[in-house]
Amino acid sequence: MELNQAVEDIHHVVTNIKNISNQTSLLALNANIEASRAGRSGRGFAVVAEEVGKLALESEQAANQITETISSMAQNIQSSTVQSKKSTDLITEGTHVLDELATTYAQFLEAFQTVQARSLTIHRFVTAVKEQSAAVSNELHSIQQSSEDATANSTMIAATIEQQTATMDAITFASKELATIVEDLEKLFTQFKLTS
Domain span including residue 102? 2-159+167-195
CA distance 136 to 124: 14
Question: In the chain, how many domains are there?
Answer: 1
> How confident is the model at residue 177, as a pLDDT?
74
CA distance 111 to 129: 26
Q: How many CB atoms sit inside 10 A of residue 54's CB?
A: 15
**Percentage helix, strand, coil, to 5, in the chain?**
85, 0, 15
**Farthest CA pair distance, the chain:** 136
Residue 47 carries which side chain, given as an amino acid letter? V
pTM above 0.85, yes or no: no
For 6, half-sphere exposure in the C-beta direction (CA atoms, 13 angstrom radius) is 10
Residue 42 maps to which CATH number? 1.10.287
- Give pLDDT tens digits along the chain (196 positions): 566 676 677 767 777 777 777 777 777 677 677 767 767 766 666 666 677 777 767 777 777 787 787 777 778 777 777 787 888 888 888 888 888 878 877 877 777 777 677 767 666 655 665 566 555 455 555 555 544 443 444 444 444 444 445 555 666 676 677 777 767 766 666 665 555 5
Q: How many CB atoms sit inside 10 A of residue 104's CB?
A: 12
> How confident is the model at residue 152, as a pLDDT?
41
CA distance 171 to 10: 10
> How confident is the model at residue 82, as a pLDDT?
78
How many residues are given for the chain? 196
> How confident is the model at residue 139, as a pLDDT?
53
Residues 6+ away with beta carbon under 8 Å from 74: 4, 7
CA angle 57, 191, 53 (to 5 degrees): 15
